[in-house]
């Protein structure tokens, strides 16, 4: 089986998708062959330049032509958030498999429409939550499922970056609900939700607050100021269906933080801690043995933590951000070839969208929000 890959968008995530699809067979070996068939960007000159750079056979500036092209089996959507829904629906209607970056859409209703369309189409979908494919995260899941820290009772997570910390940073489309949707929650908080659900199970309810730190920003042409319509920070207190509790905090205005995506899971016998900026390490504390010898243990991911060994056979040779996209691409390709259902498919990622929109709703209405 050889699958034709079509890419829409060639920015940060578009390049990451292209590199992942171009190397996943060489790294993992257990996936179908992939042909980089068609790339879409605008203007056409940029599309042609990126196609040559990334190794695609052809280029186009018309995304509609890409999603209906007979040589394209998989459509990858890495465009701004406001374009995801229309592109995904068109690709699904054309019978394509769809790999879409997070968040799924601007609104919860749009995300639901995408998930429903995916169910009707019967093709494979995958949403871009690459951090949950990290061998360190997978090992944390195994430790919890195996009872290593006892019964999980509390989750604490935070995600901080500083790309909107400067008040003099010019206004962009990212500040609007119509073009970007949610702010820190859509960009960052949804990753934290994927961690919380993946480690603790479904979220039963939450109560939250949000904040716009810089209410206006200067227009790029210097003609004045424009309003910032979405949140810079968000904080939520969680109740999980298991009875455990937790908290989430997200900020895009945290000076000095670059990709601080961290969590702690507290159990009745110990705890696990993880920091994305040290993504090859997991901290484990277990309450056993003499107290004088207890302490946190640093677990350095290695071939003993699959699928680390597919990249390198030696411990201490760390994986990187783009390697996680290779693992994500593997999940998609194996599902297309008849393997296990991919996670998170659109129906799974919809759960994360419900939580981040629930946080926004709780803050707006000043009340606890419950999930079915």
Both 71 and 144 in a single domain?
no
107 beta partners: none
Q: What is the CA radius of gyration of the chain?
A: 21
The CA-atom distances, in angstroms, between 110 and each of 131, 177, 326, 350 are 24, 13, 28, 10
Identify which of 108, 109, 32, 13 has the alpha carbon closest to the alpha carbon of residue 74: 32
Both 260 and 183 in a single domain?
yes
Structure tokens of 333?
A: 């390709």
Both 164 and 68 in a single domain?
no
* Rounded-to-integer distance, Cα 133 and Cα 91, Å: 25
* Rounded-to-integer distance, Cα 367 and Cα 372, Å: 16
Per-residue pLDDT of the chain (372 residues; tens, 9 = 90+): 899 999 999 999 999 999 999 999 999 999 999 999 999 999 999 999 999 999 999 999 999 999 999 999 999 999 999 999 999 999 999 999 999 999 999 999 999 999 999 999 999 999 999 999 999 999 999 999 999 999 999 999 999 999 999 999 999 998 999 989 999 999 999 999 999 999 999 999 999 999 999 999 999 999 999 999 999 999 999 999 999 999 999 999 999 999 999 999 999 999 999 999 999 999 999 999 999 999 999 999 999 999 999 999 999 999 999 999 999 999 999 999 999 999 999 999 999 999 999 999 999 999 999 997
Element spanning 370, H or E: strand 369-370
Among 123, 150, 167, give the residue marking a domain's end.
123
Both 243 and 347 in a single domain?
yes
- What CATH number does residue 110 fall under? 3.40.50.720
Both 190 and 237 in a single domain?
yes
Regarding pTM above 0.85, the answer is yes
Among 81, 104, 123, give the residue marking a domain's end.
123
The count of structural domains within the chain is 2
Both 170 and 283 in a single domain?
yes
Both 226 and 103 in a single domain?
no
Strand order, beta sheet including 97-100:
58-60, 33-40, 2-8, 74-77, 97-100, 125-127
What was the pLDDT predicted at 372? 75
Both 193 and 63 in a single domain?
no
Contacts from 44-49 at CB under 8 Å and sequence distance 24+? 46/10, 47/10
- Cβ atoms < 10 Å from Cβ of 80: 15
What was the pLDDT predicted at 45? 98
Both 279 and 338 in a single domain?
yes
Both 100 and 153 in a single domain?
no
Quote the domain boundaries for residue 158: 132-370
- What CATH number does residue 360 fall under? 3.30.360.10
Both 151 and 267 in a single domain?
yes
Both 109 and 169 in a single domain?
no
SS (H, E, C) 26-49: HHHCCCCEEEEEEEECCCHHHHHH
Among 64, 94, 123, give the residue marking a domain's end.
123
């Amino acid at each position: 089986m050889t699958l034709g890959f079509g890419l829409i968008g060639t920015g940060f995530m578009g390049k990451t998708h292209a590199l992942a699809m171009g190397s996943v067979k060489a790294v993992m070996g257990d996936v179908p062959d992939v042909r980089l068939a068609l790339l879409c960007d605008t203007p056409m000159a940029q599309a042609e330049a990126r196609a040559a750079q990334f190794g695609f056979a052809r280029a186009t500036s018309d995304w509609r032509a890409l999603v209906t092209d007979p040589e394209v089996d998989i459509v990858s959507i890495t465009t701004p958030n406001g374009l995801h829904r229309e592109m995904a629906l068109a690709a699904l209607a054309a019978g394509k498999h769809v790999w879409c970056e997070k968040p799924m859409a601007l609104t919860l209703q749009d995300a639901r429409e995408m998930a429903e369309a995916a169910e009707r189409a019967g093709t494979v979908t995958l949403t871009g939550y690459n951090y949950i494919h990290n061998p360190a995260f997978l090992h944390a899941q195994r430790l919890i499922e195996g009872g290593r820290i006892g019964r999980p009772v509390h989750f604490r997570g935070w995600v901080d970056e500083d790309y909107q910390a400067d008040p003099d940073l010019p206004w962009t489309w990212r500040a609007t609900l119509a073009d970007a949707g949610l702010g820190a929650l859509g960009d960052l908080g949804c990753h934290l939700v994927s961690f919380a659900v993946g480690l603790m199970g479904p979220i039963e309810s939450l109560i939250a607050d949000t904040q716009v730190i810089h209410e206006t920003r200067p227009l790029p042409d210097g003609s004045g100021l424009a309003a910032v319509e979405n949140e810079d920070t968000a904080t939520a207190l969680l109740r999980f269906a298991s009875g455990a509790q937790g908290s989430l905090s997200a900020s895009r205005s945290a000076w000095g933080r670059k990709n601080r995506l961290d969590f702690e899971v507290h159990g009745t016998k110990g705890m696990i801690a993880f920091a994305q900026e040290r993504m090859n390490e997991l901290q484990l504390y277990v309450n056993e043995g003499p107290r004088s010898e207890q302490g946190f243990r640093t677990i350095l991911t290695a071939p003993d933590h699959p699928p680390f060994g597919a990249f390198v056979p030696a411990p201490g040779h760390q994986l990187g951000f783009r390697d996680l996209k290779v693992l994500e691409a593997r999940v998609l390709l194996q599902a297309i070839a008849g393997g296990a259902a991919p996670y998170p498919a659109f129906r799974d990622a919809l759960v994360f969208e419900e939580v981040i929109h629930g946080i926004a709703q709780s803050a707006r209405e000043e009340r606890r929000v419950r999930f079915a």
